[in-house]
Structure 1
Amino acid sequence: MELLYPNLLTVLSLANGERNQQQQQAEAQLKIWEVQQGYHYLLQEVYLKTEVPLQERWLAILCFKNGIDKYWRSSKQNAISKEEKQQIRSRVFMLLSEKNNQLTIQNAHLIGRIVRFDFPNEWPTLFDDIVQYLEDLVFSKNDLVSTNNLLIILNQIIKTVSQVRIGRARHAMQSKAPLVVPILVRLYIKFFQEWTQTIDLSLMEVCYLCLKNLRRLIPEGFEQPHKNVDIVEFLKVSIAHLQLLVVEHEKYSSDLLERYVKCYSKVYYNLISVNPTSFVLLPCSQDILTTFLSLLELKAEVIYNSNEEENDFWETLALKGFMILKKIIAYIYKKGAVVLKQRNEKEEVNMAIKKLSTEFFTPQVVQHLCDLIINWYLKLKPCDLESWQLEPEEWCNEELSKSWEYQIRPCAENFFQDLISFFKDILTDFVLNKISNGLVKNNNVEDILVKDSIFSTFQLSSTSIANNVNFDELLTQIFIPQGLNNDMVENKIIKRRVCLIISEWVSVDCSRQSRLSIYKFLVTLMDPQNKLLNDKVVKLTAIQTLKSVIDDWDFQKVDIQPYINDFIQLSLIMLDEMDFTESKLFILNTLAMVLERCNPLVPIDTLMQVLAIVPGFWQMSTDTNEMILKTALLRVLKSLVVTLNEKSPAAYSICLPLIKASCASGNSENYSLLGEDGYELWLSVLQYCPQSEINNQIILNLFELIRMGLLEGTESLPIVMSIIRSYSLISPQLFQSEEALELFRILSGYLSNMRDDSLAIFIALMDILMLECGDNQLFLNNLISSGLFSALVHYAIDEKQAVVSANKAFLVLSRLAQKSPETFFNILNHLSIDKEPFLTKWVDYYKSNGNPRNKKSNLVGLISLTLFGLKQGSSIVIQLWPTVIKYAFLFMEELNEDGESAVNLYDHDFVYEDINDYNYLDPTIAPHGENIRYKSLLERSDLVYTVKVSRLIHDTLTSLKQTLSSELFQTAISSTDAYTMEKLHAYRT
């Protein structure tokens, strides 16, 4: 079908119809036409004509917008021609009279995309044209609809260009901003006066769009807004208008008016964020700050008594007020170094900081702000107390997940932390006096709420005032006694606050003796027998605090030992008491941490009790919302297995089926949600498997799940490979199977692009397998057929790989060379690998080995290959022999294998890097099964332990002398340098 306007209109109509063959043919025709010249011009023709049915116009504008993305750039295949683009640009403002708002918005978006590509190079007059249109539409034609639509387009253009960080577009907009701002300011003032007199919503909407454009253009369009007369005038007027609308809020109450007020706050906030110096130097900056400070004070009671169902207008304004003040305080504290692109002169920055410090943030204002926050914004609101009473779990979980940027109390808390941090000299004694004076008040709920608010200031001040207070004294003499006070039911508020104080301070300043008091206090709060303390919010906060204390760097598990059993028993009781998944999840995660950090002090009977709850909770967690509980249960099981260590088989009846359920990739929902934690549990089971269980058939059968995990788990590759490594120590025979061949094929594909963490595990895996199976033909066949041996060789000699990484590959290859140099050379020949560059690179990289183990392992492999190659008359080996034997003598000098310290010479820097982790962290923990298996393998099979280099040299020389002719032997000896010759002579004599 030919591309003509009537045909296009017909096809668009069919494409909008019911799903049938004609509709599919129409879509296919549009696909054919989209690469033809003139197609996008005709699409524009369709949506510009108001007489065309709306559905066809809508489809046309969507197709056109998609076409801009695909074909507007001249570098694109089938790009729109320069002439067609010019014709399209000439008509983009012909839809200004459109009355369909959604179509106007779509038009604005597509114009924004064209501007992104063409401004300023192809469309230098863009902003000049818009200013001319605005002048004409407002002051000549008084066309409100077209003005509204043009302002929507301008807003999208400014938004698009502001996001550009590379190229000329943003700078070009800044050069035009002084042209656009005056007309926007004039229109804003004109329409504001008109709508406030007439309450005309149409005028109000157009005026709002002027404000919205200015909100974007002022911060992004000017380097120094405070030097522009129009901006200074507008901001001065805007704060007066803001004050008017706030005062007359009830009179003008509407969603649009509230959007106005929020937009003013965004103007100021964006300007402070982009250019704080310029904001502070504005003549009206102090009026702006004072206005928001007054709003925070005047509307504090209204905000305090509001609830979530009510209008959040005042709360939103208060949030912006705190955020504006927060930005200004940070600016003072950081001496103007807030924004990297700040270009103001140093004198201006100093002037701005001095103005703020002396004229606004005086000690009186700072203390007044502190009082205001304590009295209203940190206090729990009536709606909080109601939610605590009616829905304690839900309220507590919401408290844990609140975001400070969107909710008033968290925002006030965050702001207070800045206040106490930046003005600690003014506020430290002020806050401490508040605490001491507020202790005696405990007569009613209001007193308790104020005390809670005051205590929260101490909680929030931990990092700022730690050097000025003795937390241990305050904890034992004030906070814990206050937390144990049961005079009123409402004292649960203080109990919760004391827990939060502990959570915040324990990592800052808390002695071991104080921690004992904390453990006793938390056990008391969690005890269900104490009816006065039996509150879900208090309990959940207490267990949150327990997690913070245990997770701290200075935690000492011997201190908590008398309370471990109590904490675990009480946590299990709490699990039954809670109804919400989030609550149970938090308890389970804390339980897992207790088991992990307190290993091995948890009594075996208690561990069995924890194990016993898992099946029941697993069965209950069936729907998607509760599926997350299963991840927590898997983590608890992992901690249990680690803690049980050699007794871990007691958990197999529960662990092994759940591993299969979680890691079988056939069940995509289970796998995506549980796979990672399932792998963690699986790895723990293997690592802590005692020697008596290594033939457990269920464990061995799980091996068949590994292949899909390896294929699908790019993010979890390190842990999947760790599982494979564990199997190499449990049952090396598995790697002589067809399943192992598939694993090796996958690994050979991954090797060249492996991250360092995965590579370290892979090297340890291959090192173990070479020691275990290096002389097994089935294993070697798998290694060769899979391409993994070839991948290892090419990885080692790849110039793009770091020397350290290449040496790790040579380390693995050295194991095979030690086992059978003949087999090694045969494999190289079979795979047509050129021995000269390969062996030359290996010898060259040898000296870059960093630790004795790797150095000796490489050396043993090279000597083994050299001995065999010399006997075979290999030319490359004959060339490399002098270097290798020299390295052997140098190694003997560096490391005295016959010295007193020789016993511990190689007991560090294992290839399996994390084998000593648990021993290193805590010597009281017995080594796990994998640790024992690995070290047993090294002692049994590693030539690093069983052969000294001196003996190796002796045996090598003896073998060469017996095998080579006297002439060849003397030639080999004489080819070495003077140092080596001297050593050889001394050695032979």
Structure 2
Amino acid sequence: MNLSYENLLNLLSIANGSERSSEQQQAEIQLKAWEVESGYHYLLQEIYLKEELPLQIRWLAVICFKNGIDKYWRSSRANAISKEEKVQIKSRLFLMVGEKNNQLAIQNAHSIARIARFDFPQDWPTIFDSISQMLEESVFTKNDLVATNNLLIILNQIIKTVSIVRVGRARHALQSKAPVIAPVLIKLYVKFFQQWTTVAFDLGTMQICYMCLKNLRRLIPEGYETPHKSPEIIEFLTLTKQHLQELIIEHEKYASSDMLERYVRCYCKLYVNLINSNPTSFILLPNSQDILSTFMSLLDQRAKEIYNAEGGGDSNSFWETLALKGFLILKRVIGYIYKRGAVMLRARNDKEEIQQAISKLTTNFFTKDVIQHLCDLIINWYLRLRPSDLESWSIEPEEWCNEEISSSSWEFQIRPCAENFFQDLISFFNHELSDFVISKIQQGLADSNDMLTKDAILCTFQLSSISIANRVDFNKILNDILIPEGLKNDVSENRIIKRRICLIINEWVSVDCSKESKVSIFRLLVNFLQPDNKLNDSVVKLTAIQCLKNVLDDYDFNKYDFQPFLNEFINLSVRFLKEVEYTESKLFIFNVLALLIYRCNPLVDHQTLIDILSVVPSYWESVQNEHETILKNSLLRVLKNLVVSLNANSNETYKISIPLVESCCDGQQSSDNYSLLSEDGYELWLSMLQYAPFENPNTNELLNLFPLIPYGLVNSTEILPIILSLVRSYALISPSLFDIKSEITVEIFAQLTKYLPTMRDDSFVVFVSMMDILLLEKSSDEGFIQLLVTSGLFQAMVNYILNEDERGSHDIISSNKIFLILSRLNPSSLLYLLTNLSVNYDNLFNVWMEYFNNNGNPRNKKINLLSLISLCEKVIASGGNEIPVLVAKFPEIVKKTLLFLEEVNETDDGNCNVYSQDLVYEDIDDYRYLDQDIEPHGEKKRYQRLLESRDPVYSTNLREYLSKTFKDLKGKLNGNDFNMLVSMNDEYTIEKLQQLIN
């Protein structure tokens, strides 16, 4: 079908059909094919410009046009739109300014902005001049409000698109055009603002005025390097402050329109953007103090209305929005003072202006009296729990508490915003406020009978932890004031103080808290979790659980101090689980239980662990939808920590754990479960293998999971270290799994072959230890050796070292680890592999000798030397024809062995203290075993047994092995050949060899 206006219109009509059909699919395919044809986008533009066509057809045409601009406008793109077509398109871009359909007008604006992004300033330098001229004509000549509004929408999109460009000429060009467009926008803003506020309230006029403001809100921060030096900007910003004050005063008059709040937000965004882009310039504006004073006055005068506002009420959101923006603006400004104007210096005089700006703020605005008044204001109104908070606490305590605990969006909630601002205030103005705040705390706690006031004062103590830590004795306040207050049960409002005490402990426990105080905290939290106390409602208990989590997470947590309270905390937490309804609450409690079990290992008694285990199935089955699936993740973490704590008895979890691992890690049977739960499932699975009993690891139950590994190896590369650790654990539990007859193992090794060249370091170290274990077990197993060949893994390991395309990406340490794996092979097996595969012997052994000098691990050096000596003996004894380079390298290997023996002090049986360090399985001695009370898990014992029984490092005396090698060669070679072999060595080596042989 040829591209023409009629054909295109017809296909758009078909593609726009409400029901899917083969004809519609064919139309879409044809439209896609036409994208690269000349004239296609011009015809699309022609269609959406015609007002007589159906709206849906025009809508589809403008969407296709916009998307095509993205893909084909840039001249460097394949099938780019021709220059001639671009000229035609650009000549008609503004023919749609009279469009009355707002959505079509917006899509057209997006299209123009995308073209401006590519063409401004080089190919379209006059765009801002043209829009400026059209705006003035539409307002002052034609009085066309629709066209004016559409032009402002287009301009807004252009400024937005061009201003985000950080590389190239566009940003600089925008700044050169800002003085052209800004005066026009300001003139229109003033005209329309006066119209809708004084002449006649009209939403259309109000909208146009708002669009002027919105454009200026973007243009001034991005288009002016130094707004404080521009007279028109200074005048406009003075005007905005006056208008903001007018709207605040007259807000009831316009309360029925949400446009009022949009205006207020826009003024605030203008000030915030100015502060963010150039705080120095904002502060040096003549009216900057007036702007700051406006928000300070608002926070002061409207504090009671904001405090009493009902949550979510439309009439009150206006004041709350202003207060939030006020705090944000003040926060940015005091941060500027504290950081001493730490911004990028653009010019030499910036430093002087920064000092001037800081002096202006500290001398004329943020005086000591103002700071203390602001502090008082926040304490009296903004830190107090609001009536809406108390109502939510009473009606839905659990939901309210979850929101309080999980809320991180402090910018959108007035109390959290005030708390955040107060922390900055006490931190940045510590000298002016610390004594003031301390006296407020002391006086308030002594005199106040109002629970909400007392709570607000205690909140300041909570938020000031870092700032006043060296001025107060927290341990004394805790024991003399907070704990006695927390134990009171005389009035229902005491629950407010109980919650606040928990929040205070959260902040102070890592700042200043003695060992004795922590014991008192444990005792207090147990009291807060007691179910028979009516004041211990859901809020108090959940906050106590949160407090417990922070105490457990503290670096100085001592599990032995916690031990007397351990079982009671667990029992109370499990009991509390039955009381809560929300998934978030259950999740929080389970996460704390998991942390508690982990931090207190091995102090939790066996029966308590089993009791916790017994509650898992019912909560797992209670999860009904995807939103609640996160609870299953938490349950898997609890199970993992139970397995770790049960250690040798971890098999008692199998009845529950194994079916859950199957459910989470079988991606072929349950893709939804796999995507959401597999990572935690794999970690549980790994802990089960590592902590499987040493003597009887119940291999049948665990072996049934082995077939799930290949899927994870292919589909979960982001957690490849965990998957490889699973394989390593199976290598210790059941090395017989790894045989060429096993399709699963063949698949695993084939996948490892693909991964090895680009394997990350964290995966590589696990791979090396896994292969080391397997070769200790199976280096003489012909089936396993054949598996290395058929899978390509041996060739991949050699290539890892020798392939010039790969060598540059791997360091010497990594290559030495591959040599370590090769050293574990039986000499006959290694010779078989080297002679039957395409390996460059000379390169291999040259690199091996070169890299050996950089091997700093004595244990691994000995493994290398034992292998190299045995290889040389075998080759030399057979005539030296198999791998001649080994005969040539033998003297070097002998000398390295003798030098190594001078470095170490082996016992008669070949052991040495340094051989017990820096094991190939690097994380086998992790931090858990630094605690002498924790018995090593089954995997550590299995690994130690393997090393003791199979690793020649501990049982072969290297000096005797070298001596025996030469004696054996002396017996196998004729006298001349042996003497020639000895004579190849240097004088030092010959002298040492004579001592060994004789």
Query: Normalising TM by the smaller chain, what interval?
Result: over 0.9
Determine if the alignment matches structure 1 residue 7 to structure 2 residue 10.
no
State the distance in 2 between where 1:881 and 1:80 align: 70
Q: Is the 8 A contact 2:445 2:457 kept in 1?
A: no
2:897 — aligned with what?
888
Determine if the alignment matches structure 1 residue 865 to structure 2 residue 874.
no
Q: Is the 8 A contact 1:918 1:925 kept in 2?
A: no
1:112 — aligned with what?
113
State the distance in 2 between where 1:625 and 1:25 align: 39
State the distance in 2 between where 1:807 and 1:243 align: 73
**SS at the partner of 1:440?**
helix
Instruction: Give the direction of change, closer, same or farther, for the CA distance of 1:840–1:10 in structure 2 (3 Å limit).
Output: same
1:270 — aligned with what?
273
Shift of 1:338: 4.2
1:585 — aligned with what?
587
* 1:681 aligned residue (684, 687, 693): 684
* Gaps in structure 2 of 5+ consecutive residues: none
Shift of 1:441: 4.1
State the distance in 1 between where 2:20 and 2:663 align: 41
Determine if the alignment matches structure 1 residue 778 to structure 2 residue 779.
no
1:934 — aligned with what?
943
Q: Which amino acid aligns with 1:718?
A: P
1:180 — aligned with what?
181
Instruction: Give the direction of change, closer, same or farther, for the CA distance of 1:961–1:127 in structure 2 (3 Å limit).
Output: farther
Q: Is the 8 A contact 1:482 1:494 kept in 2?
A: yes
2:358 — aligned with what?
353
Q: Deviations over 1:307-347 (max 9, x none)?
A: 22302221111111111111111111111114587986111
Instruction: Give the direction of change, closer, same or farther, for the CA distance of 1:384–1:564 in structure 2 (3 Å limit).
Output: same
* 1:604 aligned residue (603, 606, 610): 606
Q: Is the 8 A contact 2:772 2:920 kept in 1?
A: yes
Farther off after superposition, 185-194 or 794-803 = 794-803
State the distance in 1 between where 2:101 and 2:559 align: 69
2:504 — aligned with what?
501
Q: Which amino acid aligns with 1:697?
A: N
2:760 — aligned with what?
755
2:888 — aligned with what?
879
Give the TM-score of the pair, scaled to structure 1. Answer: 0.97
1:560 — aligned with what?
562
2:914 — aligned with what?
905
State the distance in 2 between where 1:375 and 1:909 align: 61
Determine if the alignment matches structure 1 residue 832 to structure 2 residue 866.
no
Determine if the alignment matches structure 1 residue 24 to structure 2 residue 29.
no
State the distance in 1 between where 2:799 and 2:682 align: 31
2:479 — aligned with what?
476
Instruction: Give the direction of change, closer, same or farther, for the CA distance of 1:344–1:972 in structure 2 (3 Å limit).
Output: farther
State the distance in 2 between where 1:133 and 1:161 align: 20
1:743 — aligned with what?
748
Shift of 1:975: 3.0
Shift of 1:976: 3.2
State the distance in 1 between where 2:498 and 2:727 align: 49
Q: Which amino acid aligns with 1:588?
A: F
Correspondence 1:711-726 to 2 at 5 A: 711-726=714-729
State the distance in 2 between where 1:635 and 1:555 align: 21
State the distance in 2 between where 1:839 and 1:171 align: 61
Determine if the alignment matches structure 1 residue 812 to structure 2 residue 821.
yes
Q: Which amino acid aligns with 1:951?
A: E
1:856 — aligned with what?
862
Q: Which amino acid aligns with 1:154?
A: L
Determine if the alignment matches structure 1 residue 844 to structure 2 residue 850.
yes
* 1:391 aligned residue (382, 396, 399): 396
State the distance in 2 between where 1:291 and 1:158 align: 29
Determine if the alignment matches structure 1 residue 203 to structure 2 residue 205.
yes
How many aligned residue pairs are there?
982
Instruction: Give the direction of change, closer, same or farther, for the CA distance of 1:158–1:870 in structure 2 (3 Å limit).
Output: farther
Q: Which amino acid aligns with 2:827?
A: P
Instruction: Give the direction of change, closer, same or farther, for the CA distance of 1:345–1:90 in structure 2 (3 Å limit).
Output: same
Q: Which amino acid aligns with 2:284?
A: L
State the distance in 2 between where 1:45 and 1:398 align: 53
State the distance in 1 between where 2:940 and 2:696 align: 15
Instruction: Give the direction of change, closer, same or farther, for the CA distance of 1:433–1:336 in structure 2 (3 Å limit).
Output: same
Shift of 1:69: 2.1
Shift of 1:720: 1.4
State the distance in 2 between where 1:952 and 1:232 align: 89
Q: Which amino acid aligns with 2:281?
A: S
Shift of 1:48: 1.4
Determine if the alignment matches structure 1 residue 407 to structure 2 residue 407.
no
1:963 — aligned with what?
972
1:41 — aligned with what?
42
1:453 — aligned with what?
456
Farther off after superposition, 272-281 or 845-854 = 845-854
Q: Is the 8 A contact 1:441 1:448 kept in 2?
A: no
1:138 — aligned with what?
139
Farther off after superposition, 910-919 or 321-330 = 910-919
Q: Quote the RMSD (CA, aligned, Å).
A: 1.8
Shift of 1:393: 0.5
State the distance in 1 between where 2:346 and 2:639 align: 51
Farther off after superposition, 727-736 or 19-28 = 19-28
Determine if the alignment matches structure 1 residue 669 to structure 2 residue 677.
no
Instruction: Give the direction of change, closer, same or farther, for the CA distance of 1:635–1:157 in structure 2 (3 Å limit).
Output: same
**SS at the partner of 2:717?**
coil
Q: Which amino acid aligns with 1:420?
A: I
State the distance in 2 between where 1:345 and 1:672 align: 53
Q: Which amino acid aligns with 2:967?
A: T
Q: Which amino acid aligns with 1:366?
A: I
Q: Which amino acid aligns with 2:254?
A: Y
Instruction: Give the direction of change, closer, same or farther, for the CA distance of 1:40–1:693 in structure 2 (3 Å limit).
Output: same
Q: Which amino acid aligns with 1:583?
A: S
Q: Deviations over 1:8-54 (max 9, x none)?
A: 11221122124323322222221221111111111111111212221
Q: Which amino acid aligns with 1:744?
A: F
State the distance in 1 between where 2:332 and 2:13 align: 54
Farther off after superposition, 43-52 or 515-524 = 43-52
Q: Which amino acid aligns with 1:173?
A: L
State the distance in 2 between where 1:830 and 1:112 align: 65
1:293 — aligned with what?
296
Q: Is the 8 A contact 1:219 1:274 kept in 2?
A: yes
Q: Deviations over 1:499-553 (max 9, x none)?
A: 010111111111110011000000001011233x331100000011111101110
State the distance in 1 between where 2:868 and 2:348 align: 62
Farther off after superposition, 205-214 or 342-351 = 342-351
Q: Is the 8 A contact 2:699 2:733 kept in 1?
A: no
Q: Is the 8 A contact 2:402 2:584 kept in 1?
A: yes
State the distance in 2 between where 1:943 and 1:184 align: 85
Q: Which amino acid aligns with 1:780?
A: I
State the distance in 2 between where 1:201 and 1:344 align: 46
1:576 — aligned with what?
578
Correspondence 1:311-322 to 2 at 5 A: 311=314, 312-322=317-327
* 2:340 aligned residue (318, 335, 338): 335
Q: Which amino acid aligns with 1:707?
A: P
Q: Is the 8 A contact 1:154 1:213 kept in 2?
A: yes
Q: Deviations over 1:827-886 (max 9, x none)?
A: 123221222212211221111223222222222222232333333333221332232222
State the distance in 2 between where 1:470 and 1:90 align: 75
Instruction: Give the direction of change, closer, same or farther, for the CA distance of 1:674–1:5 in structure 2 (3 Å limit).
Output: same
Farther off after superposition, 851-860 or 391-400 = 851-860
Q: Is the 8 A contact 2:785 2:829 kept in 1?
A: no
Q: Is the 8 A contact 1:663 1:671 kept in 2?
A: yes
Shift of 1:201: 1.4
State the distance in 1 between where 2:743 and 2:893 align: 38
Farther off after superposition, 44-53 or 258-267 = 44-53
* 2:433 aligned residue (427, 435, 438): 427
State the distance in 1 between where 2:853 and 2:349 align: 54
Give the TM-score of the pair, scaled to structure 2. Answer: 0.96
Instruction: Give the direction of change, closer, same or farther, for the CA distance of 1:408–1:515 in structure 2 (3 Å limit).
Output: same
2:81 — aligned with what?
80
Shift of 1:805: 1.6
Determine if the alignment matches structure 1 residue 223 to structure 2 residue 215.
no
Correspondence 1:157-176 to 2 at 5 A: 157-176=158-177
2:954 — aligned with what?
945
Q: Deviations over 1:66-120 (max 9, x none)?
A: 2122222222221111221122122211111111100111111111111222222
**SS at the partner of 1:2?**
coil
State the distance in 2 between where 1:866 and 1:220 align: 73
